[in-house]
Structure formats: C-alpha cells, structure tokens
Amino acid sequence: MQEKLKEIFEWFHRNPELSYAEYRTTERIRQLLTDAGIEILPYTLETGLAAVIRGEKKGPVQALRCDIDALPVTEETGLPYASETPGRMHACGHDFHITAGLGTAFLLRERKRELAGTVKILFQPGEESSLGALKMLETDVMKDVERIWGLHADPTNAAGVIGLREGAVAAAVDRFVITIKGVGCHGAHPDDGVDPIPAACAVVQALQTIVTRNVNAFHPSLISVTRIEAGKTWNVIPPEAWLEGTVRTMDRADRELFQKKTALIAEKTAEAYGAQAEAKWIPGPPAVINDAKMAEFAADTARRLGFTVVPEEQSLGGDDFSFYEEKIPGCYIKIGTGKGQLIHQPGFAVEESVLEPAAKYLAAVLMGAYIS
C-alpha cells in the first residue's frame, strides 16, 4: 500500500487549496474513495465530505477527523512534488492527514468482516480558519458518533513516533478587540483633548498581569496583543485607538477569567486616563482535551504494533477538533513525521515512510477501540 499512498500524498501535496476552497481536493478524495468501493455519506457540504465503513460485527460508532486545507505559504522544501501554486502550501501536514485517512478507509474496507461497529471518516474543510469543524457539525454526521479520533503531523518527532497524553493537548483560541475612545486635538495641546494612545499603552501592559497575577502559575495560558493602531499623522492626537490580540487557555475557568479581566482592565484603565474602552470577545474553539481511556488505549495499541510512544507535547496552538469533543469523548494523536522545520513554515516536510504505518496504526485503533 505504501506506493499507492505515496502517489496519493504527492498529488495532494502538489495541489494545496486554502480553507473552504478545497474543491479539487474534495473531488480527488471522492474519486479515490469511490474507486475503492467506499460509501460516501450524502451531505451537502460545499467542500469536504464524510465516508463511512460499516463493520459486519456489532460495535460502537466512531469517527476519525482528517482536515484537508492548506496555508497561504510559499513552499521552500525543494521537494520534487512541491506545491505547484506559489503562495499555497500544505505547510500543516493536512495532505498527510488526508492520505492517512484514505489509507485507513482502504484498510477498514478490506476488513469489514472483522470490524466491530461503524467508522466515519470526516474529511473536514477549513481547519485553519478554526471553524471548519462547525461546517461538519451543521450536518448530522456526528449524530450517532460515540467517540472521535484526530491526528496531527508532528515534526518534532522521528517518523512514526506516536505522541499521546490524557488531558489538554491544545488550547482554547479566543480573540479580543479593544476600542479606546478619547477626544482628538492638536498635537501641541493635549490638554484640550483626551489622548487614547497612553491609555492604550497602559492597557497593553496591564493585560499581562492576568497571566502573572490572576491565573494559577501551573496552568498554561497566555495573552498577546498583536495589533495596535491609532493616529494618522505626527501632529494630531487621534480620537481613537484599537488593540487586538489573542488569549490561549487550557482550563475553562481560566478562559472565563481572561474574558472578564480583559474587559475590566480595558475599561477601568482607560477610565483612569479619562478615556472610554470597550472590549469585544470573539470566542474560537475550546481546548482540545484527550479522554484518558482513549489515550491509554491508543498508546497501548501503538506499543503493541511496535511504535515508540512519547508524551504528547502540549501546545497553546489550537485545533477546531475540540468542537467535536464538546459532545463526545475524543483523542488527538500526534504522529511523528520526521524532525525538521515546524508546521506553518515554508520548509516543513513529511517523511513519506510514515504513510503506510500511520494508516495501519489508525486502522488498528479503530478496529479494536471498544473502550467501555
């Protein structure tokens, strides 16, 4: 199967498409599944699709999530099958996820007789937008699913090393925008107005105290102000300033604390400077939390098949996989793809030797995953 998977992987790598524009990607997946005699569920998704393998033995309904979108990055790997589109690249390994998902589907199809239960393979669009999972959830594909598995390429580990742990592995990803209103005036007469810029600067500094003074020091979290904007020229004090940034947390109570404190610090600090602030909170996906039993089962399966298992690294990055986990238990497995440049970088590459082992491993997890 390795040769077949290599060919599949290289096609997807050559043809990356951005979030919600995965049209050719979806068509290719559909074709490969159809050729293998695998049933595709009849959902009307613009991009992405869900396949199903119905085992002949009784068992649970499980899902495997494979995201399919690429990033606006220009590839610099020099690979013979590099992206054919400048400014677009599978720099997060989702081409590997598609290939591993297809390989898993082929294997499960062959073993339908031994398969206990049903497996749905979700080829999900728009993961990089943080909201693609919601597109899948708008259909009723998850209605009867009892547990969900996810995978991610991991360039910090050698090819085939499996990273697993129970509990939080990726963060809740929230965004905030703060508008600070002052009163514009002549740059030489600040006393005639209310300068929003010193207020904005004070808010930026004070926000960091949420991490250092309010959150339990053993809880990973961060707040970053990533955009600050005010003014048009050198001799006019502007009437408004804007701050924008992101908050990452792994604990639900911390997430609520950040939301409250961000608004409070913005409003009260601005008030002390005579200005007015308004904080808008734009929630993204919650933290990715691995179910303890599923993580243990996946680690045992990996060891049984001869894979090396290491503790999965926690990240304050996010994955919309967590939207599925709001309703059912899930487990997000990291699969080493060869040490090299990190994901989202132009030199990120997946070692092709991992393709078949990854598919075999995921198929084994889904075949034996009856966890009571």
> Binding site for Mn(2+), residues?
92, 94, 128, 152, 344
Per CB under 5 A, contacts with Ni ion among 218-247 are none
Under DSSP, the state recorded for 127 is G
Facing residues of 119 across strands?
A: 53, 62
Is the CB of residue 313 less than 8 Å from the CB of residue 40? no
As measured in angstroms, the least distance from the Cβ of 293 to Ni ion is 25
As measured in angstroms, the least distance from the Cβ of 340 to Ni ion is 15
Q: Which is nearer to Ni ion, 53 or 63 (CB)?
A: 63
CA distance 227 to 11: 37
CA distance 96 to 117: 25
Give the interface size with Ni ion as a residue count (CB under 5 A): 1
Q: Shortest Cβ contact with Ni ion: which residue?
A: 92
Residue 171, both tokens: 């963060």
Q: Which is nearer to Ni ion, 92 or 121 (CB)?
A: 92
Per CB under 5 A, contacts with Ni ion among 246-275 are none
As measured in angstroms, the least distance from the Cβ of 133 to Ni ion is 12
Helix (H) or strand (E) holding 104: helix 94-110
Q: Which is nearer to Ni ion, 8 or 92 (CB)?
A: 92
CA distance 319 to 153: 13
Q: Which is nearer to Ni ion, 207 or 333 (CB)?
A: 333
CA distance 163 to 313: 7
Q: Which is nearer to Ni ion, 92 or 202 (CB)?
A: 92
CA distance 8 to 104: 13
As measured in angstroms, the least distance from the Cβ of 13 to Ni ion is 14
Per CB under 5 A, contacts with Ni ion among 74-103 are 92
User: Strands 330-336 and 162-164: what pairing?
Assistant: antiparallel
Q: Which residues contact 138 (CB under 8 A, 6 or more apart)?
A: none
CA distance 180 to 270: 7
Q: Which is nearer to Ni ion, 170 or 270 (CB)?
A: 170
Does position 108 interact with Ni ion (CB under 5 A)? The reply is no
Q: Which is nearer to Ni ion, 278 or 313 (CB)?
A: 313
As measured in angstroms, the least distance from the Cβ of 92 to Ni ion is 3
As measured in angstroms, the least distance from the Cβ of 344 to Ni ion is 8
CA distance 286 to 222: 14
Q: Which is nearer to Ni ion, 92 or 266 (CB)?
A: 92
CA quadruple 177, 179, 180, 184: dihedral, nearest 10: 140
CA distance 149 to 141: 14
Residue 265, both tokens: 């610090």
As measured in angstroms, the least distance from the Cβ of 94 to Ni ion is 6
Q: Which residues contact 235 (CB under 8 A, 6 or more apart)?
A: 186, 187, 188
As measured in angstroms, the least distance from the Cβ of 172 to Ni ion is 16
Binding residues, by number, are 92, 94, 128, 152, 344
Residue type, 315: S
Question: Binding residues for Ni ion, per CB under 5 A?
Answer: 92
